[in-house]
Amino acid sequence: MPAPDPVLPSCLQPRRVILFSGHMIDAPGRAEPRFPPALAPAAAAHIAA
């Protein structure tokens, strides 16, 4: 991250942002599987790694 700009007040300095997005686990009875519950443990392991 770059050093703070001494000219800008601290309220205008850039901040760190973390964004995560993804799919919810499929609802029971979903016609076309997108994220079946059986894949949740593998997804959690990849996120934790």
Asked whether residue 11 carries a pLDDT value surpassing 90, the answer given is no
| Locus of tokens 């029971």 | 28
Asked whether residue 29 carries a pLDDT value surpassing 90, the answer given is yes
Q: What's the rounded mean pLDDT across residues 25-47?
A: 94
Nearest one of 42, 8, 10, 13 to 25, comparing CA atoms: 42
3-state helix, strand, coil in the chain (%, to 5): 30, 0, 70
pLDDT attached to residue 1: 64
| Per-chain mean pLDDT for the chain | 85
- Cα 10 to the center of its chain, rounded Å: 27
pLDDT attached to residue 34: 92
**Domain locations in the chain as residue ranges:** 10-48
